[in-house]
C-alpha cells in the first residue's frame, strides 16, 4: 500500500526546494542562494482534490559538494528518481538552457518514468514566452511557474494530477493513514556526529539520510514515519548543533533553528550523546531547551561498542550524566549502538512507555492527599512574615503533567520548596521519569466551587479538608482506574541490554580496566 511519488529534479539553484515549500504551503526544505544546500531527500504528503501524492525534493544533479559528499548525494537523487511515479524536471527561465540542464535531460531520458518540464522563475510574461525554448530538452508537458511572483501553482498541481497513475483504493487507504496524526513524534537531537542519522536509517530500514564522518552532513529536519506494533510513529532527524559563535553560515543557523523547532513540536525528545566524547556546552544548551519546553526526554548514549573498547562502564556514564544535569535526574537513560542496530527497538519501546507515562492523569482527590502528605513532612517556610497556605491541587493537563496549586499568595512559595514538592510528587505519582509543570494561582484566582464546602470568603487550607470533601471535589472521577494495577513507569536508569547475563558479561566494571581519561572521578565531584 503506497501513494504515488513525485520527485523534483534538476541542476543546482533552479528553485527545487522553493518549489516544494510553495506547493506544500509551508517551510520544509532549506532555501539558500548557496548551491547544493539540499543533500537528503526531503518529502511532504500532498492531498489535492481526491488524490494523495508524495513530493520528494532531491539534491542538485551535477553538484560538486564542498564536503566531498557528491557520491552520497547522487545515491539519494537516484533513489528519488527510481521510486518516483512522476519526475518534475525544473529549469531556470532566467538562466536559459545550460550544459548541466542538457546533462540532466539525458539522465532523465534513460528513466522509464513520465517527465514534466517545469520552467521556474518566470516572474514576467516575457519570460513565459521564452519558456518554449526549453522544449528542446524534452518533448514533454511544460508548465511555467514563479514562486517569487506566486504564478502557476494551480496549473502545475492540475497537470501533476493528470499525469499521476490512476487512483486506487490502496492509495486512498495509504494516504489517509499517512496523513493521520502520529501516535508519537520523536525528535532526535544532539551535537554533530553523534550518530543521529545512523539511528534514523535503522528505524527506516534503508539509507534514508546520508551518514558521514564529516560534521554537519544533515541540514534539513527530516520526518521519517514508521510503524511499531500497529502504531504510527514519526522520528525527526535534526541537523547537528554547534555553538552559536561557531556558526559559519546561514545554513548552519537554519539547522540550529530547525533543531529547536523540532524539540517544540515533538512529543518526546531523544537526546543523543557520543559515548567516546565529553559533554559539551552545546549538549547543555540542548538539554536546557528540552527542560524549558517541559518535554519528556531520554538520554541516549550512542557508540557504546567503542566505549566498551575504551574500558567505559555504564555506572560511570550514569554518574557523569546525573552530575552534569542535576535538574534532569528523572530522565531515563539508555545505551545503544546505532551502527549495528543494537537496542534500537528497545529504545523505541522505552520511548512509548515514557510518553504513556506523561499522558496519564491522576484524580484530584488522590493528588490532594499527596500534596497534604508533602506539607505534613515539610511545610513551606514563612516568607514576608506570612505563612503560605495551599487550598487545593488539581491536574489540569497532561503531556506534560501540569499540576495547579491554589494558594493564598503564589509569591510566598520559594523555589527551594517548589523543588521539594516536585520531587515528592515524582516519587508519589506515576510521573517518575517525566517533567512536571507547576502552575500557582493566588487566592483571588481560586474558584470556590472547585471544592465542596468551601466559600469564597473563607477558603479552607488543604490541611483542613476532610477525605469526604476531597472526594466530593474530585472532578476527575474514574481516572484512578487508569492507574490501578498498572506500572507504566520506566526504570529511571534503564540500560537497555540483551538480558541480565549480558549486562554482567559486557558492562560489569573491571577495577583493573582503566576508564577513559575524559571521565575520571574528578568529573563526579559536586
Alpha carbon distance, N-terminus to C-terminus of the chain = 55
pLDDT at 262 (0 to 100): 86
Q: How many CB atoms lie within 10 A of CB 198?
A: 19
The three-state DSSP-derived secondary structure of 17-53 is HHHHHHHHCCCCCCCCCCCCCCCCCEEEEEEECCEEE
List, for the chain, all residue ranges whose pLDDT scores fall below the cut of 50. Answer: 33, 35-36, 210-219, 245-249, 446, 448-458, 475-526
The DSSP element (H or E) to which 300 belongs, if any, is: strand 297-302
- Going by the annotation, the residues of the binding site are 10-17, 57-61, 120-123, 190-197, 237-241, 302-305
**Placement of cell 552530575 in the chain:** 323
Q: Taking a C-beta distance cutoff of 8 angstroms, is the pair 46, 53 a contact?
A: yes
Kindly report whether the global pTM for this prediction surpasses the value 0.85. no
Per-residue cell: 439: 502552575
Task: Report all structural domains of the chain as residue ranges with CATH numbers, in order of start.
Answer: 5-178 (3.40.50.300), 182-359+499-524 (3.40.50.300), 364-481 (3.30.300.20)
Q: Cell 499527596 belongs to which residue?
A: 370
Alpha carbon distance 392, 386 (integer Å): 18
Q: What is the pLDDT of residue 206?
A: 73
Nearest 5°: phi and psi at 464? -95, -10
Residues annotated as binding site for GTP? 10-17, 57-61, 120-123, 190-197, 237-241, 302-305
Mean pLDDT over each residue of the chain, to the nearest integer: 79
With H, G, I as helix, E, B as strand and everything else as coil, classify residue 91.
strand
CA distance 522 to 509: 18
Each residue's pLDDT tens digit, 174-193:
877 877 888 899 999 988 88
Asked whether the beta carbons of 223 and 315 are under 8 A apart, the reply is no
Read off the C-alpha cell for 493. 536508569
Q: What is the distance, to the nearest Å, from the Cα of residue 116 to the centroid of all Cα atoms in its chain?
A: 34
pLDDT in tens, 439-472: 999 876 545 444 444 444 445 677 776 666 666 5
DSSP state at residue 277: S
Buried b (16+ CB within 10 A) or exposed e, 237-269: bbbbbbeeeeeeeebbebbbebbbebbeebbbb
Amino acid at each position: 500500500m503506497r501513494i504515488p511519488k513525485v520527485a523534483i529534479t534538476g541542476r543546482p539553484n533552479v528553485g527545487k526546494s522553493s518549489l516544494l515549500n510553495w506547493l506544500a504551503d509551508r517551510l520544509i526544505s532549506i532555501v539558500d542562494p548557496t548551491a547544493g544546500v539540499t543533500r537528503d531527500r526531503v518529502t511532504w504528503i500532498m492531498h489535492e482534490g481526491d488524490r494523495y501524492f508524495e513530493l520528494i525534493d532531491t539534491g542538485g544533479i551535477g553538484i560538486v559538494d564542498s564536503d566531498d559528499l557528491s557520491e552520497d548525494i547522487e545515491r539519494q537523487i537516484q533513489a528519488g528518481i527510481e521510486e518516483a511515479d512522476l519526475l518534475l524536471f525544473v529549469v531556470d527561465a532566467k538562466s536559459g538552457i545550460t550544459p548541466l540542464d542538457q546533462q540532466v535531460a539525458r539522465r532523465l531520458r534513460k528513466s522509464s518514468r513520465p517527465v514534466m518540464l517545469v520552467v521556474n522563475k518566470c516572474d514576467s510574461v516575457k519570460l513565459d514566452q521564452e519558456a518554449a525554448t526549453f522544449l528542446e530538452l524534452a518533448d514533454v508537458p511544460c508548465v511555467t511557474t514563479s514562486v517569487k511572483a506566486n504564478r502557476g501553482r494551480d496549473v502545475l498541481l492540475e497537470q501533476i494530477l493528470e499525469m499521476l497513475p490512476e487512483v486506487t483504493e490502496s492509495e486512498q487507504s495509504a494516504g489517509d493513514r499517512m496523513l493521520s496524526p502520529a501516535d508519537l513524534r520523536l525528535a532526535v537531537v544532539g551535537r554533530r556526529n553523534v550518530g543521529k542519522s545512523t539511528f534514523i536509517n535503522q528505524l527506516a530500514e534503508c539509507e534514508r539520510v546520508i551518514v558521514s564522518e564529516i560534521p554537519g552532513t544533515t541540514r534539513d529536519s527530516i520526518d521519517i514515519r514508521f510503524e511499531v506494533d500497529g502504531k504510527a510513529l514519526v522520528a525527526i532527524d535534526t541537523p547537528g548543533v554547534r555553538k552559536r559563535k561557531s556558526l559559519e553560515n546561514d545554513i548552519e543557523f537554519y539547522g540550529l533553528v530547525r533543531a529547536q523547532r523540532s524539540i517544540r513540536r515533538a512529543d518526546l525528545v531523544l537526546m543523543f550523546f557520543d559515548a567516546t566524547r565529553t559533554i559539551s556546552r552545546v549538549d547543555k544548551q540542548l538539554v536546557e531547551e528540552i527542560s524549558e519546553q517541559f518535554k519528556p526526554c531520554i538520554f541516549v548514549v550512542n557508540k557504546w561498542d567503542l566505549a566498551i573498547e575504551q574500558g567505559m562502564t555504564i555506572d560511570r556514564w550514569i554518574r557523569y550524566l546525573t552530575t552534569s544535569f542535576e535538574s534532569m535526574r528523572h530522565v531515563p537513560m539508555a545505551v545503544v549502538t546505532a551502527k549495528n542496530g543494537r537496542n534500537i527497538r528497545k529504545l523505541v519501546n522505552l520511548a512509548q512507555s515514557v510518553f504513556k507515562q506523561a499522558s496519564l492523569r491522576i484524580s484530584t482527590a488522590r493528588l490532594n492527599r499527596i500534596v497534604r502528605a508533602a506539607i505534613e513532612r515539610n511545610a513551606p517556610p514563612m516568607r514576608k512574615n506570612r505563612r503560605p497556605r495551599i487550598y487545593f491541587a488539581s491536574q489540569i493537563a497532561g503531556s506534560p503533567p501540569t499540576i495547579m496549586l491554589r494558594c493564598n499568595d503564589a509569591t510566598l512559595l520559594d523555589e527551594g520548596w517548589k523543588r521539594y514538592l516536585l520531587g515528592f510528587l515524582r516519587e508519589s505519582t506515576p510521573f517518575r521519569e517525566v517533567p512536571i509543570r507547576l502552575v500557582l494561582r493566588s487566592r483571588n484566582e481560586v474558584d470556590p466551587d472547585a471544592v465542596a464546602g468551601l466559600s469564597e470568603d473563607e477558603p479552607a487550607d488543604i490541611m483542613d479538608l476532610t477525605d469526604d470533601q476531597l472526594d466530593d471535589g474530585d472532578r476527575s472521577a474514574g481516572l484512578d482506574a487508569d492507574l490501578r494495577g498498572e506500572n507504566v513507569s520506566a526504570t529511571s536508569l534503564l540500560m537497555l541490554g540483551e538480558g541480565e547475563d549480558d549486562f554482567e558479561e559486557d558492562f560489569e566494571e573491571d577495577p583493573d580496566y582503566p576508564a577513559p581519561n575524559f571521565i575520571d572521578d574528578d568529573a563526579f565531584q559536586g
